[in-house]
Structure 1
Amino acid sequence: MGSTRAAGATAASRHGAQLSFDEIGRPLRGLTFCVVDLETTGGSAEGGSMITEIGAVKVCAGEVLGEFQTLVNPHAAIPPFIAVLTGITDSMVADAPSIEQALPAFLEFSRGCVLVAHNAPFDVGFLRHFATAQGLAWPAYDVVDTAKVARRVITRDDAPNCKLSSLAQVFHATTAPNHRALADARATVDVLHGLMERLGGLGVHTLEELQTFSAKVSAAQRRKRHLAESLPHAPGVYLFRDERDRVLYVGTSRDLRTRVRSYFTASETRSRIGEMVGLAARVSAVECATVLEAEVRELRLIAAHKPGYNRRSRFPEKVHWIKLTDEPWPRLSLVRQVLDDDADYLGPFGSRKAADRCLAALHETFPVRQCSGRLARHAQRSPCVLAELHRCLSPCDGSASADAYAAVVADLRASLLHHADEVVATMTARMDDLAADQRFEDAGRLRDRLAAFVRAATRTQRLGGLSRCAELVAARRRDDGRWEVHVVRYGRLAAAGLIPTQAHAGAWVDQLRASAETVLPGPGPTPAASAEESEKILRWLESPGVRLVSLEGEWACPIRGAGRHVARHDAAQTSRESLVPFDERRSLPIVHQPAR
């Protein structure tokens, strides 16, 4: 594939030489933390509970920068058991400031800090609730929950639980927690520092790594995050390789570096991918001009390398086709390969079951012969059972005229390539008859056969419309104002690029076309690319904002094509699946419907 970057810019000049925080992460040792604790009259601010005390400690690099403490008048009686637990009584808070006075002072104290709390959803939830009630803008805090972190690094051998009092003993806190806000905040500071020491030994050194840290991610897996450091922040394809340089996994992303980094964090939960990362020795990348180019390259690389950890698109050649043969007495045949033999093909089908269902629908509608092998023009054989049932015109015994048989084949060919009305009408009438006789299971089988045909014919007609175009050039304006351009030849992506800001658009597109891949079409509905590649291109072409720049050939789908009937079958399938229990739904066939 030709890929033009006419400006000739390097990755460094495109993205800037200075690294962002997202690239390098924010080291924990350089951050300022505000460790906060609250005392309240109950467990829920939404339920009417009030704050009675706020305590906070601001700390950076192990040094205390300041402390904040205030009682808060709840303007309500403190429940007796809360007073016993905290030691805060009604008389103590009688002259204390209200939350309307205390909260703005705390927000100013904690401005620019990473907020830390033990069981953070409780404390942060109260603070946010009252900020909203007062109409105060809630700062965009990064939040660290020491209880959550502790549950990932503290074992039963360390402490029986992850309560603040237990962790304070584990880390030898200088202040014992006692259900008073400032004392508990001071104890949480010591717990935070103790946890950070342990996390450092596990390879967690930045806030971003801490926020995605999970015990499910092994230390060996986290240590491999350096594999992403050389990748650009750009769309493209990434390839995980093992020590022998074999490709383990291929993926695509709008941002290569950010996506690959996620494989070494808790955001990646697939066990097989964790196994793959354990085997990976390096990650290579192919930077692409556009997202569509990246998606197409991914498909081609998966098909070429067949990586063991990719589950889809590995074997595009393992598909099925329904073939209408070109012989004196044509017939329908299920084949695995498209040949240059002047036959008509329907497909491709991802499974044999779908192909068989579609074939059955066609045989239900058109009485062409189902026997194998070639028949002479003037055959003299014994008729089969299908002929006796009047489901075949029986050319084998000479009872069918060539003209009558040719007329049926012409209708069959039209249904494959141009319209689906005859199949839909025939199958629908038979389903209605079966339903009237209360033979609902038989009607359901015909429904599934008809749906398989409609989807296959829609796919073939859509792919054929694009693949007949010798060249199609289209462009779309991105959010950043630049235009992405794609050159498509016979359904294959031949070139992709971004028009430079100062370039003459027409001249640049001409240059892109001249450098594009030469494509020689083969036979069938997908003569130069896999069906998946052509369908990705179609989805992009049909997306909002795409403009045709030039076209050689005719890009069209038949006005009476099978696509008119797809929506009804999709709606029926969705309705059926909604009635199936979730555990049984996994056994249903999955049908991939191309966008229209």
Structure 2
Amino acid sequence: MSTTTGGPSTASPDLSTPHQASFEELGTPLHAVTFVVVDLETTGGSPANAGITEIGAVKVLGGEVLGEFQTLVNPGMPVPAFVARLTGITTAMTVDAPPIEAVLPSFWEFARGAVLVAHNAPFDVGFLRAATVAAGFVWPAPQVVDTVPLARRAVTRDEVPNHKLSTLAGYFRARVSPEHRALADARATVDVLHGIFDRLAPLGVTHLEDLATAADPVAPEVRRKRHLADGLPEGPGVYLFTGPDGEVLYVGTSRTVRRRVRSYFTAAEKRRRISEMVRVAEAVRAVPCATTLEAQVREIRLITEHEPRYNRRSTRPERGAWLRLTDEPYPRPSVVRDVRGQADGSVGTYIGPFASRRTATEAMEALCEAIPVRQCTSRLPRRAGSTTGACLLADLGRCSAPCVAVEGDPGYGDAVDAARSAMTEDPRPVVDALGRRIRELSAQTRFEEASEVTRRLREFLAGAARTQRLGTLATCSQIVAARPTTDRGWEVVVVRYGRFAGTTVVPAGTHPGPAIDALVATAERVDAPTAPAPACHPHEAAIVGDWLESPGVRVVQIDGTWALPVRSAVAYGDLSAALPRAPHAAASLAPAG
């Protein structure tokens, strides 16, 4: 059908909704996608100083033409002679044609919900966008497919001398020859598009989202595995790549599992390690989840369970470490593997967990540099023997040397109290002491040493903040919280001792009370841990904590105390921002709150 628009519209319609969804949101076979192939004729090469003289478009679905759109347009300026010779469109032909602001509403209605296709799309789409905005309409942001890069991928230079529309139309034996008129060129582009699809299909380009990366080279053995994503759920969940004998090679999570898995078989995947994994993989299975939080938690648990060789994230709690103050007459900082209760049922002072013993040791060095607690590993009696001698740290003023205090050292308790406070409440003494040291070293241009001090301070603050966030969750036997969903429902979560115990989604318009009661009754039973260690992997507790602290979350029920010290290490916010990258910037060590 041929359509010509009437006079200019008196309204300014919002052309932005509905519009074609993004590649990432789709998983549609190409035969099920509606394409609108468009071509423009203009008075010049740039929207800044040229106008549109003709629009032609063809709507196709599954290889069938659904309709056509064609109209001349008054560009608001004379048509240059060389353009008239090229296109056959003269100024006399466009004088009585409708202006672009009258044409656009009809064109965008014709193209509504479709993927826009053009040969050298930046040119045509650039003019359409400029004209739409200039006319006062909202740019509908359609998805765009450019046949030029697709043709370069599908047809080699051995087959055609160039990738011009006229050359490709002849190569694919298009039913219409391009003649620099909009509708004819759009019709030719339709045949070129279908010819390209036929050439790319054996390479695994069979779905709409494949077109986003089809122009990039992908190994055929990788692209052929795109079928492994077929049948996977569109919603949130966890996916597991498995290899020979069912070995779990890699575990990941996504809001839309199928879309994410398909991306592994495209040029969008640049990681060499993951590309190697894809070549080994023989299957992909998914674990659908009700919410993204559940998916993130299950990912952590599955990585911990299977230890996939292609997951780099450390998920072994036994590899972590804690910094604690020992329980003895003269306590000292010590790096240990886990949190343990004492004989009387109490728990000592801990911060962590740290990713490794090395980072825990760096945090301990920061504490000892700021506060004169002893670093020797001997267990000291309450009163020293007559033959005991002080160590070098005592001579340097870095330790009060309780080891040589024959009558005991009551002042050492002050240092221990200061260390305990810095670890669990206010880290300012450590920040101030190391901040001064960083500035001194920077002033002396000893930047390498200043960087080492900065790193130790950063590790101490990170460990203290982690304990303060996770430790308070670990003491709460139950937290029930809800967050509104985008469709005005509720996402409800039960957390027990920092562990994700269950979740449900309450639809909009439904009273959440009964659903919450049922969730609490059926949620996982969790035994109390030895706080500050949570009853789960630290990564899981951190994810749960982030969710609880996210905007919009409402606490429905809490058994315990979920709070932070007023001047906690968490108050320093983003440590990478609070602590300077360059040592001479140490003056920025102020709390974020």
Give the Cα separation in 2 of the matches to 1:235 and 1:56.
38
User: Using a 3 Å threshold, how does the CA distance of structure 1 residues 387 and 99 change in structure 2: closer, same or farther?
Assistant: closer
1:240 correspondence with 2:245: no
AA matched with 1:250: V
Identify the residue that residue 7 of structure 2 maps to in structure 1: none
Q: Answer whether contact 1:237 1:253 (CA < 8 A) is retained.
A: yes
Residue 122 of structure 1 and its aligned partner are, at CA, apart by 0.9
1:385 correspondence with 2:385: no
Identify the residue that residue 554 of structure 1 maps to in structure 2: 561
Gaps of 5+ in 1: 1-20, 580-594
Percent identity over the alignment? Answer: 53
Identify the residue that residue 571 of structure 1 maps to in structure 2: 577
Please point out which of 458, 462, 465 is paired with 1:458: 465
Give the Cα separation in 2 of the matches to 1:306 and 1:432.
43
User: Using a 3 Å threshold, how does the CA distance of structure 1 residues 192 and 360 change in structure 2: closer, same or farther?
Assistant: same
Please point out which of 386, 397, 401 is paired with 1:394: 401
| Cα distance per residue 1:358-397 (max 9 Å; x no partner) | 2222112222222234334434433322222222222334
Give the Cα separation in 1 of the matches to 2:180 and 2:487.
53
| Cα distance per residue 1:192-219 (max 9 Å; x no partner) | 2211221233343444444553443444
Identify the residue that residue 368 of structure 1 maps to in structure 2: 373
Identify the residue that residue 490 of structure 2 maps to in structure 1: 483
Residue 131 of structure 1 and its aligned partner are, at CA, apart by 3.3
Residue 287 of structure 1 and its aligned partner are, at CA, apart by 2.8
1:41 correspondence with 2:48: no
Bigger mean CA deviation after superposition, 121-130 or 96-105? 96-105
Q: Which has the higher contact order (CA 8 A, sep 6+)?
A: 1
User: Using a 3 Å threshold, how does the CA distance of structure 1 residues 508 and 387 change in structure 2: closer, same or farther?
Assistant: same
SS in 2 for 1:422: helix
Residue 103 of structure 1 and its aligned partner are, at CA, apart by 5.2
User: Using a 3 Å threshold, how does the CA distance of structure 1 residues 507 and 176 change in structure 2: closer, same or farther?
Assistant: closer
Q: Answer whether contact 1:471 1:553 (CA < 8 A) is retained.
A: yes
Give the Cα separation in 2 of the matches to 1:504 and 1:98.
54
Residue 276 of structure 1 and its aligned partner are, at CA, apart by 2.4
Give the Cα separation in 2 of the matches to 1:409 and 1:526.
22
User: Using a 3 Å threshold, how does the CA distance of structure 1 residues 577 and 540 change in structure 2: closer, same or farther?
Assistant: farther
| Cα distance per residue 1:168-195 (max 9 Å; x no partner) | 3322334443434344334323312211
Identify the residue that residue 283 of structure 1 maps to in structure 2: 284
Identify the residue that residue 346 of structure 1 maps to in structure 2: 351
User: Using a 3 Å threshold, how does the CA distance of structure 1 residues 197 and 574 change in structure 2: closer, same or farther?
Assistant: farther
Identify the residue that residue 134 of structure 1 maps to in structure 2: 135
| Cα distance per residue 1:115-150 (max 9 Å; x no partner) | 332111211222333233334566675433211211
1:153 correspondence with 2:139: no
Aligned residue runs from structure 1 range 259-338, under 5 A: 259-265=260-266, 267-338=268-339
Aligned residue runs from structure 1 range 1-80, under 5 A: 26-29=28-31, 33-45=35-47, 47-59=48-60, 62=63, 69-80=70-81
User: Using a 3 Å threshold, how does the CA distance of structure 1 residues 276 and 399 change in structure 2: closer, same or farther?
Assistant: same
AA matched with 2:349: D
Q: Answer whether contact 2:438 2:453 (CA < 8 A) is retained.
A: yes
| Cα distance per residue 1:427-482 (max 9 Å; x no partner) | 34555666677766655544443333223222222222221222222233333343
Residue 322 of structure 1 and its aligned partner are, at CA, apart by 1.8
Give the Cα separation in 2 of the matches to 1:293 and 1:195.
42
User: Using a 3 Å threshold, how does the CA distance of structure 1 residues 308 and 155 change in structure 2: closer, same or farther?
Assistant: farther
AA matched with 1:159: V
Identify the residue that residue 6 of structure 2 maps to in structure 1: none
1:535 correspondence with 2:532: no
Q: Answer whether contact 2:439 2:583 (CA < 8 A) is retained.
A: no
SS in 2 for 1:480: coil
Identify the residue that residue 252 of structure 2 maps to in structure 1: 251
Give the Cα separation in 1 of the matches to 2:175 and 2:211.
24
Residue 315 of structure 1 and its aligned partner are, at CA, apart by 3.1
Residue 24 of structure 1 and its aligned partner are, at CA, apart by 9.1
| Cα distance per residue 1:335-373 (max 9 Å; x no partner) | 334444554322122255543432222112222222234
Name the TM-score, length of structure 2 as normaliser: 0.81
When the two structures are aligned, how many residues end up with a matched partner?
A: 559
| Cα distance per residue 1:546-580 (max 9 Å; x no partner) | 2333333322222332333x14954344674999x
1:515 correspondence with 2:517: no
SS in 1 for 2:126: helix
Gaps of 5+ in 2: 1-22, 586-591
Q: Answer whether contact 1:344 1:524 (CA < 8 A) is retained.
A: no
Identify the residue that residue 584 of structure 1 maps to in structure 2: none
Give the Cα separation in 2 of the matches to 1:234 and 1:578.
48
Q: Answer whether contact 1:299 1:313 (CA < 8 A) is retained.
A: no
AA matched with 2:321: H
Q: Answer whether contact 2:235 2:288 (CA < 8 A) is retained.
A: yes
Residue 274 of structure 1 and its aligned partner are, at CA, apart by 3.3
User: Using a 3 Å threshold, how does the CA distance of structure 1 residues 287 and 397 change in structure 2: closer, same or farther?
Assistant: same
Give the Cα separation in 2 of the matches to 1:113 and 1:516.
45
SS in 1 for 2:567: coil
Name the TM-score, length of structure 1 as normaliser: 0.81
Q: Answer whether contact 1:476 1:547 (CA < 8 A) is retained.
A: yes
Give the Cα separation in 1 of the matches to 2:328 and 2:367.
18
Identify the residue that residue 583 of structure 1 maps to in structure 2: none
Q: Answer whether contact 1:487 1:494 (CA < 8 A) is retained.
A: yes
